[in-house]
């Protein structure tokens, strides 16, 4: 086992947090009767918050399945995408566009939130004089990462295709950071998603307002790598669905946030591959 340490920049008030990343395992491994699966989560928030939300979910899954789940941290969305692209994870919580890029080749959707869809938002400071999208023409707008679906790709595509507006993108690595940049006056606007804005501290939410909302798309899926045997994939699917039906399990999933867990299919996301979103990568 290898233990790695990564520096995670927490974007609350500029303080630094050093986090030890748990050991990672390549693929499903047998260790006596205990099988180990590596799990990745797209870092919409800082690593500490991801572990606080997902570790209890994985603990509950261990009790239901007998597998051991090792949560592998990634401090930025680009570093997570690099790990995903080379198959570092057995299970992963990814954005929908990953499903039709990397996922279409190697990862199989298991479940997704069927109770809440995803949409992007453009956010400005609460006191900003900007009232129309046209005022963003040629301006610098911050985004979490080039391949963030709702926050970046959908937002940029609709600005250009529906309104003919070109912005200058600047990437700041996480959803929390985009809102903070706007609230502190470091950027005139940012791209985000409603789910992540809703999870920001009250003071930060009060300091910004939503200028625009994109079209709705299916929410983030939990996917499994194709190397994981089909019988194990079925065990994981049934355990996740059962967790979503259980009151205690639902409370854990609601922190992701997930409102209703249901079966996911690659067909749910296929249309995203036809939108030409690679223009903005």
Find how far residue 273's CA is from the centre of its chain: 18
Is residue 218 within 8 Å of 269, Cβ to Cβ? yes
Confidence band (pLDDT; 50, 70, 90) for 169? very high
Cα pseudo-dihedral 84, 191, 189, 15, rounded to 10: -50
Is residue 152 within 8 Å of 160, Cβ to Cβ? no
Considering the segment(s) 4-116+218-280 as one domain, its CATH architecture is: 3-Layer(aba) Sandwich (3.40)
pLDDT the model gives residue 77:
81
Name the burial class of residue 79, with classes exposed (0-12), middle (13-18) and buried (19+) by CB atoms within 10 angstroms of its CB: middle
pLDDT the model gives residue 238:
98
Strand, helix or coil for residue 236: helix
pLDDT digits (tens, 9 = 90+) for 195-247: 899 989 999 999 999 999 999 999 999 999 999 999 999 999 999 999 999 99
pLDDT the model gives residue 103:
58
pLDDT the model gives residue 23:
35
Least confident of 22-31, 65-74, 119-128, 234-243: 22-31
- Contacts of residue 174, defined as CB under 8 A and 6 or more positions apart, other chains included, come to 11, 43, 44, 45, 46, 76, 77, 144
pLDDT the model gives residue 28:
44
Q: For the chain, give every domain's residue range.
A: 4-116+218-280, 119-217
User: Measuring CA to CA, which residue among 151, 57, 146, 59 is closest to residue 101?
Assistant: 146
Considering the segment(s) 119-217 as one domain, its CATH architecture is: 3-Layer(aba) Sandwich (3.40)
Question: Judging by DSSP bridges, how do beta strands 29-31 and 34-41 pair with one another?
Answer: antiparallel
pTM attached to this predicted model: 0.74
* Alpha-carbon span 278 to 274, nearest angstrom: 10
Is residue 11 within 8 Å of 177, Cβ to Cβ? yes
- 4-116+218-280 and 119-217 share one CATH topology? yes
pLDDT digits (tens, 9 = 90+) for 237-279: 999 999 999 999 999 999 998 999 999 999 999 888 888 888 8
pLDDT at residue 22 above 60? no
Write out the H or E segment, with its range, that includes residue 204: helix 202-206
* Alpha-carbon span 217 to 148, nearest angstrom: 13
Write out the H or E segment, with its range, that includes residue 240: helix 230-245
The two structure tokens encoding residue 248: 């205690």
One DSSP character per residue, 252-264 reads HHTTTT-S-EEE-
């Amino acid at each position: 086992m290898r233990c790695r340490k990564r520096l995670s920049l927490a974007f609350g008030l500029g303080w630094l947090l050093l986090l030890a990343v748990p050991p990672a395992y390549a693929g499903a491994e047998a260790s006596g009767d205990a099988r180990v699966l590596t799990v990745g989560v797209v870092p919409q928030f800082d690593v500490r918050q991801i572990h606080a939300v997902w570790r209890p979910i994985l603990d509950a899954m261990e009790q239901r399945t007998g597998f051991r789940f090792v949560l592998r941290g990634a401090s930025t969305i680009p570093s997570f995408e690099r790990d995903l692209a080379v198959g570092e994870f057995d299970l992963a919580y990814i954005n929908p566009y990953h499903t039709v890029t990397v996922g279409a080749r190697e990862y199989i959707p298991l479940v997704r939130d069927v109770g809440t869809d995803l949409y992007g938002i453009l956010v400005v400071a609460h006191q900003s004089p900007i009232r129309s999208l046209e005022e963003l023409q040629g301006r610098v707008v911050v985004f979490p990462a080039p391949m963030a679906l709702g926050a970046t790709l959908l937002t940029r595509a609709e600005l250009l295709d529906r309104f003919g507006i070109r912005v200058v993108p600047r990437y700041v690595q996480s959803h929390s950071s985009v809102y903070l940049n706007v609230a502190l006056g470091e950027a005139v606007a940012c791209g985000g998603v409603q789910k992540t804005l809703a999870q920001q501290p009250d003071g930060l939410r009060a300091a910004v307002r939503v200028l625009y909302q994109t079209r709705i798309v299916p929410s983030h899926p939990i996917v499994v790598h194709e190397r994981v045997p089909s019988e194990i994939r079925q065990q994981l699917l049934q355990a996740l669905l059962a967790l979503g039906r259980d009151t205690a399990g639902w409370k854990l999933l609601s922190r992701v946030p997930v409102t209703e867990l249901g079966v996911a299919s690659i067909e749910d996301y296929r249309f995203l591959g036809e939108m030409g979103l690679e223009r903005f990568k």
